[in-house]
A and B are shown apart, each in its own frame.
Chain A
Amino acid sequence: MTTESGADSEAKQQQQQQEESVAAPKENPKAAEPASPQNQLEQLPAAVGHSTPARKEQILCHQDTPEEDQESRQSSTSRLSRSPLKGMKKVKIMQCKVTLLDGSDYTLTVEKRVKGQVLFDKVCDHLNLLEKDYFGITYRDVEQQKNWLDPTKDLKKQIRTGPWNFAFNVKFYPPDPSQLTEDITRYYLCLQLRDDVVSGRLPCSFATHTVLGSYTVQSELGDYDPEELGSDYISELRFAPNQTKELEEKVMELHKTYKGMTPAEAEMHFLENAKKLSMYGVDLHHAKDSEGVEIMLGVCASGLLIYRDRLRINRFAWPKILKISYKRNNFYIKIRPGEFEQFESTIGFKLPNHRAAKRLWKVCVEHHTFFRLVSPEAPPKKFLTLGSKFRYSGRTQAQTRRASSQIIRPAPFFERSASKRYNMSQSLDGAPITENHETLMRDSDSAANARGDIITTVTTEKKAEEEKAEREDARADTTADAGTPTAVRQEAKTDSEQTDFAFDGDITATEDTEPPAEMVKHQTNISELKRSFLETDASVPGLTEWERRLSSSPARSPRSDEPPMIEPLEEEQQDEEDEKPAGDETKAEPKVTEAAEYLLKCTADSSLADGAPPQGISPSATMDDDVFAAEEKTPDSHDQLSEKSVDRLSPGSVREEVSQAITDKRGMLIILKEAEVEAEGKDDVGKLLLSKMEALVEEASPVKGSPKKAMASWVSEVARAEESEVFRVLTEEMPKTFEQSKPDVAQITLSEAAPLAVSTLGWISPSVTPEKASADVEQKKLLATEMEAAPEDHTRADAVCAKEMPVVHTETKTITYESAENDMNGDTDHGVLLSAQTITSETTSTTTTTHITKTVKGGISETRIEKRIVITGDSEIDHDEALAQAIKEAKEQHPDMSVTKVVVHKETEITPEEGED
């Protein structure tokens, strides 16, 4: 529903003609040069791309030379600083027209060779928008299709022949707009949605039109005032595609009841209603299924939806999709195998043309990354990964939420202008208003033909690489109806003219590309477990409101022998595949053995993991696969500073808050207690008490005299050494039954949120300097006592932690790992082991091992998840934060499970020079 939104530029027929005349093959000296593959590949489209608009644009000086292009690209990061150009070339300035969400046009100038990001940033500055990541800029391509401007690519290469006309739009519709930090962000989201509604992209009932309209009026005009507004004040505003007098009257009726509601409140209400609409944030694309039946593919936050007419006929949640690819005008999704299936299945859809397929693919990649991943995937290194290097490069939702929490400015004043667009009886893009889906996506089939006119030169190197890729392609993915090699090559050529991509056939986009090798191996085996326990958004079989209610009911608890009656539905069953509805439009293509591909991927992945992550972005993993994504911190980046949380498992609002607190250096969830309280044999023993968790701190450091000091130094990170640290969070599932104790435990687990919050708050003020550290400890003690006072008689967890000794960190990691395990195995199960899985993901700074054990004890299945997080680094690590984070995440990720043990082990290699203390 999004791509067509916003106002737009007029069709420019002649341009296309012009292009045809200009786009004759240009030889490109640069492309033939021996360069890194990356440069080489980018070179080609660039040269062709910039040549055409030069003619038409008014404000330009002279034509770019290829050398200049090269330069501008190579000075990759800052485009604002004038990169050293050869000679004294004048900087070419382009005028851009950006249609904003209120329908007004904003005209600005940018240097011609800047990247999309510059334009986007300028527009956001103009709009005073900080939470930018949900938004994007669109432009019309030669086929009049809306495309998202890629911020990482040169503007001129994307715009190519058209006028520099753009529109500012919402790109990622936040599923919960109330979690946006600023009112101004919600305001812009409202404007987008109002346009979505009026244009018919977001269908709603009469009642919804009424409600949304009434909040729109309240937000724009304020309280109903008959004297000022008159009786017909409303007809100038647009609420619906087919606005009737009756609707206007109903809107007024409701509007009158909103006395005193502020614009921000009205917008919040608007969003709360709009977000529930089934087509909210669904980006629709026309397609045909394998049998040629017209369908629509809808990309949204949760996955891919398949519609036939208005009916949803299938749905593929992101976790179920292993791979997204396209080849020519075909779009493919590879689906995770079901429980009893050995192989993935690939489902193909036909898009109107190649560009439409690519556009859909990009939107999928971006939505998946934004909503499912912790951090963007690193662009694949050439040589190692096949296919496009396109990745979503912006922040993910998780990152943007964290970043937004850092916003400290006072709520900006902004004018809610009586928006221009709603006075028009037309949708902004000039199309007559209609509620028909068919008009929403104008991927005309005829447009496909236009492609043939565009010819480009392909250098020999490029051909060679394409061929190589094809061979590997063919080996890896023997999809039944894969095109003939020649066809594919042709396609790639054509495409390479249009974009930066080397070749686009069969591009692996998602989950199975990035996880490290070990992950890939385990992925399929543990998928069922993942489904059950690691899916957070919808399928976590956690205690629902329902179960809580039942379990809390007094009459409920005494029962012990009843089987569980109400079970949460697991959203993604593994065996769904073979049970597709008979009316299913999408046909699975012949299954493909993927072993070869796996092997290939593993190799690529491990090499990727071995090397330092490019540009400070470590390879991230998907939450779906229960990989901990580590974000490498480079101290020079502001962004990354604010993302200090060590690992993230899954999206979730609560977790966001916690991590926000933590990144703010405010949060402290682990309360340390002094050694005297409970000495346990060794030198100094601290006690960590976190709700029902009890953690033991072992201070084995020979240099530390008192625990206070030790802690002070720990907190203040005096020891600047290479450290490795193991966090171990063991969670144990409380089988969800109605039998006596279980629900009780679950209850209490939930109630722990309160004390946790208290401790978090309590830690806000103290700064972590060595001088104040003892005070800190006092405070910790105080809090700890409070916590202890609370009735806590549940499962406990002992945690051994904090050892500082000179060791080589790489070795330490292993040692700690083992010893921790020995410590932990005190409470073993006596049940039948059903399955045990270990997943390890490793980046340069963090190693995470997840061990999932499933046992059956007397009919009750128990799942035990052990997570070991080893953080290695020579920079400062805030251990408390990291531990708090790990525990909190474990709890939030498995709300139905309880944390039974936490072990913290810290080992520090102290360099001889730094004999601190």
Chain B
Amino acid sequence: MAGLMAGFGCYTHAIVRGIPTSLAKESLRTCQAEVDLSKAQREHDAYVHILRTTLGLEVVELPAEETLPDCVFVEDAAVVCGDTALITRPGAESRRRETEAMKGALKDLNLNIVEMTDENATLDGGDVLFTGREFFVGLSKRTNQRGAEILADAFKDYAVSTVPVMEKLHLKSLCSMGGPGLIVIGSSEPAQKTLKIMQQMSDHRYDKLTVPDDLAANCIYMNLPDKGQVLLHCTAEEYPESVKVFDKLNDYKLFPVSNSEKVKVDGALTCCSVLINKKSGN
């Protein structure tokens, strides 16, 4: 039976992209920090390894592009839900061309491509939280109302609510989905406020998992056929208190993934991949 909106967290494919050397110096960042490029490279390799080898996803690896220092953060370039892929118009001018390679890759996967051509629209995938039942779009420095409208047009089945993003770069800088109906949320005041707004806007009910560190709230949930519930989250070295919280998730296969370098340029775990379910229903 074809069913819509089933199988939250089910993925078959992932799109990732290599790290250009320009990342260290030229990539956008909200605070200054020295990036150890080779360490970043090692971390990214480990991330891809988990997706491909440990979890068995079909990983499409796009080549790094030196002129696009932020290109490793593929999440911002596309929003994929079901068999539809929305190619975004990233808020940062320097990142607009990142979508080209992404579009090609998604086309190759036979997804329905919707492009955001409106020049007044901006949207970063990092501002888009899909809960399985609806979308929340953070209105941030990178994402505007028009961008959210186009997203709503692209995914008509779902309610799309807008949420202001306070302080942080992206909506998902302080939250992510930790399972069906489970929102992982940071404990900072902006994070908690954001969550309250989301719950007010929603017809659905969510549970929350509060972690001490906002950045640790960005994790990757998957529900894989032979793996069960999988959660990729921060390491104990980075956020020891938050890891204690994740450790309590008993029914999960937990994968701490180190992200100490990319985080310096505002890259969280979800930023580095676009996850796709090619077996979704129809």
Residues of A within 8 A of B (CB): 203-208, 210-211, 214, 250, 254, 269, 272-273, 276-278, 302, 308-315, 538-539, 544-547, 549-550, 553, 555-556, 562, 565-573, 575-576, 579-583, 738
Q: Is B195 an interface residue (CB 8 A)?
A: yes
Inter-subunit contact A210/B161 (CB<8 Å): no
From A545, A568, A573, give the contact of B200 (CB < 8 A). Answer: A573
Q: Is the CB of B251 within 8 A of A211?
A: no
Is B200 in contact with A567, judged by CB distance below 8 angstroms? no
A569 to B206, Cβ gap below 8 A? yes
Contact in complex: A309, B149 (CB < 8 Å): yes
Contact present for B159 and A312 (CB under 8 Å): yes
Q: Say whether A214 contacts B2, CB under 8 Å.
A: yes
User: Min CB distance, B91 to chain A, in Å?
Assistant: 16
A257 to chain B, nearest CB (A): 8
Q: Among the listed A214, A250, A313, which residue makes an inter-chain contact with B162, where contact means beta carbons less than 8 Å apart?
A: A313
**Inter-chain contact B251/A565, CB cutoff 8 Å:** no
Cβ distance B188 to chain A, nearest Cβ, rounded Å:
14
Query: Considering only CB atoms, which chain B residue lies closest to A269 in the complex?
Result: B1
Determine the distance from Cα of A555 to Cα of B248 in the docked complex, in whole angstroms. 10
Query: Considering the chains assembled together, what is the distance between the CA atoms of A302 and B197 in angstroms?
Result: 17
Known contacts A208-B4, A254-B2, A569-B208: A302-B203 contact under CB 8 Å: yes
Q: Mark B115-150, 1 if CB is under 8 A from A, else 0.
A: 000000000000000000110010100000100110
A550 and B251 contact, CB distance less than 8 A: yes
Q: Are A556 and B250 in contact (CB under 8 A)?
A: yes
Question: Which residue of A is nearest B155, CB measured?
Answer: A205
Q: B2, B156, B162, B204: which contacts A203 (Cβ < 8 A)? A: B156
Which positions 139-175 of chain B face chain A at CB distance < 8 Å? 139, 145, 148-149, 152-153, 155-164
How distant is the Cα of A570 from the Cα of B161 in the complex, in angstroms? Answer: 18
Would A205 and B82 count as touching, CB distance under 8 A?
yes
Q: Determine if B248 and A207 form an interchain contact, defined as CB atoms under 8 angstroms apart.
A: no
Identify the closest chain B residue to A276 (Cβ).
Answer: B5
Contacts of B133 in A (CB 8 A): 276
Point out the residues of chain B lying under 8 angstroms from A214, CB to CB.
Answer: 2
Q: How far is the CA of A442 from the CA of B208 in the complex (A)?
A: 41
Which secondary structure characterizes the binding site on chain B? mixed
Please report the C-alpha to C-alpha distance between residue A314 and residue B163 in the assembled complex, in whole angstroms. Answer: 10
Contacts of A566 in B (CB 8 A): 182, 207-209
* Residues of chain B within 8 A of A277, CB atoms compared: 157
Instruction: Sort chain B's interface into a size bin.
Output: 35 or more
Distance in Å: Cβ of A238 to nearest Cβ of chain B:
17
Q: Which residues on the A side are within 8 Å of B159 (C-beta)?
A: 278, 312
Interface residues of B in 179-217 (CB under 8 A from A): 179, 181-183, 193, 195-197, 199-210
Partner of B201, one of A308, A312, A545, A575: A312
Q: Judge whether A278 and B157 touch: CB under 8 Å.
A: yes
Indicate if the CB atoms of B164 and A583 lie closer than 8 Å.
yes
Residue from B2, B84, B152, B250 within 8 A of A550 (CB atoms): B250
Task: Tell me, in angstroms, the Cα distance from A225 to B200 when the chains sit together.
Answer: 49
Whether the Cβ atoms of B161 and A312 lie closer than 8 Å is yes
Minimum C-beta distance from A343 to chain B (A)? 19
B207 contact set on A, CB distance < 8 A: 544, 546-547, 566-569
> A569–B197 Cα gap in the complex (Å)?
11
The 7 closest A-B pairs by CB, nearest first: A278-B159, A310-B152, A203-B156, A312-B161, A538-B205, A569-B199, A582-B164
Is A311 a contact of B196 with CB atoms below 8 Å?
A: no
Whether A581 lies near B164 (C-beta < 8 A) is yes
CB distance from B184 to the nearest CB of A (A): 9
A738 to B163, CA, bound (A): 31
**Shortest CB–CB separation between residue B19 and chain A, in angstroms?**
34
- Determine the chain B residues whose CB is within 8 A of the CB of A312 once the complex forms: 159-162, 201
The yes or no answer to B3 lying at the interface (CB within 8 A) is yes
Question: Which A residue sits closest to B199, measured CB to CB?
Answer: A569
A250 to B5, CA, bound (A): 18
Is B83 an interface residue, CB under 8 A from the partner?
yes
Contact A206 B112 (CB under 8 A): yes
Complex alpha-carbon distance, A273 and B158, angstroms: 12
Q: Is the CB of B193 within 8 A of A207?
A: no
Assuming the A-B contacts A254-B2, A582-B164, are A576 and B156 also in contact, with contact meaning beta carbons closer than 8 angstroms in the complex?
no
CA distance A566 to B184 in the complex (A): 9
Residue of chain B at shortest CB distance from A570:
B199
Identify B245's interface contact among A272, A565, A579, CB under 8 A: A565
Q: Is B281 an interface residue (CB 8 A)?
A: yes
Note all chain A residues with C-beta closer than 8 A to B249.
Answer: 550
Q: Residue B30 at the A interface, CB < 8 A?
A: no
The A-contacting residues of B in range 49-84, CB under 8 angstroms, are: 82-84
Question: For the complex, is B282 an interface residue (Cβ under 8 Å from A)?
Answer: yes
A314 to B207, CA, bound (A): 20
The reply to whether B153 and A565 contact each other, CB–CB distance below 8 Å, is no
Chain A residues near B112: list those with CB within 8 A. Answer: 206
In Å, the complex CA distance between A338 and B209 comes to: 24
Q: Which residues of A contact B83 (CB under 8 A)?
A: 207
Contact A581:B149 (CB < 8 A) given known A207-B4, A269-B1, A314-B201: no
Residue pairs across A and B with Cβ atoms less than 8 A apart, 20 shown, are A206-B84, A276-B5, A312-B201, A313-B161, A314-B201, A315-B202, A315-B203, A546-B179, A546-B207, A550-B250, A553-B250, A565-B210, A567-B210, A568-B207, A571-B199, A571-B202, A571-B205, A581-B164, A583-B139, A583-B164
B4 touches A276 (CB 8 A): yes
The answer for the CA separation of A312 and B148 in the assembled complex, in Å, is 10
Task: Return the chain B residue nearest A303 by Cβ.
Answer: B203
Q: Are A562 and B248 in contact (CB under 8 A)?
A: yes
Task: Please give, as numbers and ranges, the residues of chain A lying within 8 Å of B82 by CB-CB distance.
Answer: 205, 207
- Residues of chain B lying within 8 A (CB to CB) of residue A545: 181
Identify the closest chain B residue to A316 (Cβ): B200
In whole angstroms, what is the CA distance A314 to B82 when docked?
A: 26
**Given A211-B281, A302-B203, A568-B207, A576 contacting B160 (CB threshold 8 A):** no
CB-CB under 8 A from A579, the residues of chain B are 193, 196-197
Q: Are A211 and B282 in contact (CB under 8 A)?
A: yes
Considering the chains assembled together, what is the distance between the CA atoms of A550 and B183 in angstroms?
A: 16
Q: Which of B217-252 contact A (CB under 8 A)?
A: 245, 248-251
Whether the pair B204, A538 counts as a contact (CB closer than 8 A) is yes
CB distance from B120 to the nearest CB of A (A): 13
- Bound-complex Cα distance A254 to B204 (A): 29
For B209, give the chain A residue with the smallest CB separation.
A566
How far does the Cβ of B113 sit from chain A's closest Cβ, in whole Å?
Answer: 12
CA distance A570 to B137 in the complex (A): 21
Contact A207–B201 (Cβ < 8 Å): no
Does the CB pair A310–B164 fall under 8 Å?
Answer: no
Q: Does B248 contact A311, Cβ atoms closer than 8 Å?
A: no
The answer to whether A553 touches B281, judged by C-beta atoms less than 8 angstroms apart, is no
**In the complex, what residues of A have CB within 8 A of residue B157's CB?**
203-205, 207-208, 276-278
Q: Which residue of B lies closest to A309 (CB)?
A: B149
CA distance A562 to B120 in the complex (A): 49
Cross-chain contact of A309 among B5, B152, B204 (Cβ < 8 A): B152
- Asked if A581 contacts B4 (CB within 8 A), the reply is no
Closest CB-CB distance, B269 to chain A, in whole Å? 19
Q: A312-B161, A315-B200 are in contact. List 15 more A-B contacts (CB 8 A).
A: A203-B156, A205-B155, A273-B4, A308-B145, A310-B156, A539-B205, A546-B207, A547-B207, A556-B250, A566-B209, A569-B195, A569-B199, A572-B200, A576-B196, A579-B196
A297 to B179, CA, bound (A): 32
- Nearest B residue to A314 via CB reads B201
How far is the CB of B66 from the nearest CB of chain A, in Å?
37
Q: Which residues of A contact B4 (CB under 8 A)?
A: 207-208, 211, 273, 276
B148 touches which of A205, A269, A311, A567 (Cβ 8 Å):
A311
A273 engages B199 (CB within 8 Å)? no
> In the assembled complex, which residues on chain B have CB atoms less than 8 Å from the CB atom of A250?
282
Report yes or no: B134 in contact with A278, Cβ–Cβ below 8 A: yes
Contacts of B2 in A (CB 8 A): 210-211, 214, 254
Chain B contacts with A in 1-46, Cβ cutoff 8 A: 1-5
A308 / chain B contacts, CB cutoff of 8 Å: 145
Complex partner residue of B161 from A203, A311, A550, CB under 8 angstroms = A311
CA of A562 to CA of B244, assembled, Å: 11
Note all chain A residues with C-beta closer than 8 A to B179.
546
